[in-house]
Structure formats: C-alpha cells, structure tokens
Amino acid sequence: MSSFRVKGGLKLKGEIIPQGAKNEALQILCAVLLTAEKVTINKIPNIRDVNKLIDLLADMGVKVEKLGPESYSFQADEVNLQYLDTNDFLNKASALRGSVMILGPLLARFGTGRLSKPGGDKIGRRRMDTHFTGFQKLGAEFRYDKKKEIYHIDGKNLKGAYMLLDEASVTGTANIVMAAAMAEGKTTIYNAACEPYLQQLCDMLNRMGAKITGIGSNLLNIEGVKKLKGTEHTLLPDMIEIGSFIGLAAMTQSEITIKDAQIHRLGVIPETFRRMGIKLEFRGDDIFIPAQKHYEIETFIDGSILTIADAIWPGFTPDLLSIVLVTATQAKGTVLVHQKMFESRLFFVDKLIDMGAQIILCDPHRATVIGLDRKYSLRGIRMTSPDIRAGVSLLIAAMSAEGTSVIDNIEQIDRGYQHIDERLNALGAQIERI
C-alpha cells in the first residue's frame, strides 16, 4: 500500500490542464463493443479504473492500439464471447464498477451478457435495478445467481419499448441507450439522466449511425438500427478535477489557471463555488482563480445558513460535495452540506476534525461546517483515504495544513486522478509518494 507525504502551507502558482473525464471514459470505452469497425478515442485519462477497463476489453478480444499519451484506437471485430464464462473475466469485471456498462453493448450486438456483481467505492448502497429493469423492458431475460453473485442476461430479440426509469441513473441510462441503439423499433426513455457525459455518449452513437433524439433532456427517443460504424471521439475535461482544483486554490491561497475547462459544460459548479466566496474569472475557456486570503460563504436571502446539496443534473454533482466540505473549513461562515445520494460519503470528516476543523456530522447524509476563516490552521496528521473523492479532499486539507501529513491507501486516489502528485508538484506543491 502506497502513501503520500504532504508538506502543508505552501502556495501554488501556475497553469493546470484537467484530465479527460473519468465518468465519460467508462461509458465511451464500453461503447466500442457496439461496432466491428475502428473507434478512436482521445483525451483518455491514465488512471487505474480506466486502464483496468481497457485491459478487460483487450482480454475480451478487442484490438487496442495506443496512438499517443491520451489517444487509443479500439476494434471489436473479434470479440471472444466464451471469455465471458471464465473466472478471469468475472473476477476482473467485479473489481471495476464501470464494467457493468459492457452489458448494454453486448446485448445489442451479441444478444448475451455475463457480469459479476461490480465493485467500486464503498460509499453506500448503489443498486443495479435501473440497468436490469431497462433491459427487461427491451425484452431481455435476466437471472441472478445469488450464490456466485453473477448476472446472466439473454437479449437475442431486443425490441424497443417505452420506459419510465425509477431513478435518473447515469450509468443505467447509458447502458439502456446502448442496448436500445440496435434494438428493433423505437425506445423512449423518460426520466433519463442528462449529464454532459451522457450527452457525449449519445452524440458519439449518432456519429456511429444511431438515431437518438432529445439529447440533453430527460426524454430520449431511440430508433434502433441494424449496424453501427466506427468514429472518432474526444472526451470532455473532467468536471470533478476542475472543481477539485478550484477548492484547492482557495484552501491554499494559490493563484491557479485551469486550462480549457469547457466552461459551458460545467453547469452550476462555478456558481456553487462562487457562493462559497471563491473568486473565479473566465478567460475564454480558462478559469483563473486568484490567490485569496479570505473567502466568505453566502447566506440565503433571509439570512439563514447556506445549504449545498447534491442533485441529478443539472443540479450539483455528488462527486464534488466532499470538496465543498473541506473548502468550507477555512472559509468565513457556515454551510450545511447535504449528501442525499450516498449514505457513507461524509464519513471522512473525522479525519478533518482530527486536523482541527469544526464540523458537526448531523447524520450519515448531513454535515455542518463552521468555517475557521484561517484564524486557526488545520494541522498535519496521518490518515487513510476511504474513497476517490474523499481522498483528494484529504489531500487538499493536507496541502493547506501546518506541518506534514501522511495519507495512506492512495491507490484510491490513483483510481480517479491522473499523476495528481506530479501535476501539483509542478505548481509548487511538495507531495512525496512513499
């Protein structure tokens, strides 16, 4: 198990380029299974979860060629379906939650699918019902082996259908869209997720020959086609990294420019950080964050404490609530952070409290943060990263703290952030991998 040794109290300065979006990459990579033709993908982040999925595709028989540091070509013209029945496939798929999205393409093109119960962050209950209910609406037959924890799906005669999703699941919507793209007839998905990454997937599928309308809304219509062709696709910059860098700049009083942030695709993220009192300047498609000694959290119009909660898009993404929480510890004012979607994502606050933060964990979903306004610095401690997003939040806290911190289990951070230590060290940080 590796660790970061972090020297706190340093101010950073310079430009940083966000990596390609992890959550988009997992969807787009699975989509290469929909065609026998070559698909080229650019801006692929070099992170553990994405690399695991690329390796899994290669094991399935997909021809993978690395074209450059962030570009790959994929050709799924000789997929080995027998590999799906091997323990090697089931073990590798179970280690990566994003692997569930290979089911939609496999059903669409080959009429069959297998998958172990996916893993991923331990951030609470993350059910799979939306995926499988959608497949069943399309005519797939579904069976779950409880003893082996294996999903078996037969979808040889998928037919378009109307469905109202029980939740606007991003991965669930992506999976159903990919299955419906080659189903017979018309599929209508109501209460569909409409995140930018899902929009990117739909746009890519349309370039491949799919017929999807309603992109960007929660009502998608898909006319099934018999065959899809190859294409080229470039991932968006990762909005979670962008939000993380905004919080990092504020906490460390640093002057940072985030390059090519695709600001028009960030939704309420910039405005949410502005409500935290953080100054942001848009310079073309770059975000400039000036060094700030103080930043003050707004209140609601009636003077009551600000609440920042996660919500389905275009609401605030749950992946950035931990960043908001840690950033609030050195702000002036108080904020209630309400994590609605997952019941374990706030359980890293005990580490921040040990560092000197004033936080009241109200329940598994809510925490009240009383900002210190830099009157008292956080202090360096030894801690363990529980998941990807909390891990980066603890890294930000450590970089702003007095003294040296050690963060264990940084493999969690590596799953979502590409060479984060090297990139931040280039701006003046002192993060040592030990």
Catalytic residue numbers? 121
Let me know: does 126 contact 168? Beta carbons within 8 Å: no
Q: Phi/psi at 94 (nearest 5 deg)?
A: -70, -20
The single residue listed with the structure tokens 């159903």 is 176
Which among 205, 268, 212, 265 has a CA at the least distance from the CA of 236? 265
Let me know: does 189 contact 207? Beta carbons within 8 Å: no
404-408 and 431-433: which strand pairing?
Answer: unpaired
Quick one: angle between helices 388-400 and 239-251, nearest 10? Answer: 20
Laid out side by side, the sheet with 3-7 consists of 382-384, 404-408, 3-7, 431-433
Task: Tell me which DSSP letter residue 184 carries.
Answer: B
Angle at 107 between CA 115 and CA 211, to 5 degrees: 135
Let me know: does 389 contact 415? Beta carbons within 8 Å: no
The single residue listed with the structure tokens 């299974």 is 33
- Residue 180 CB partners (closer than 8 Å, separation 6+): 108, 138, 158, 160, 187, 189, 222, 224
- CA gap 163, 138 in Å, rounded: 9
Q: Indicate the helix (H) or strand (E) that contains 412.
A: helix 411-414
Q: In the chain, helix, strand, coil percent, each to 5?
A: 35, 25, 40
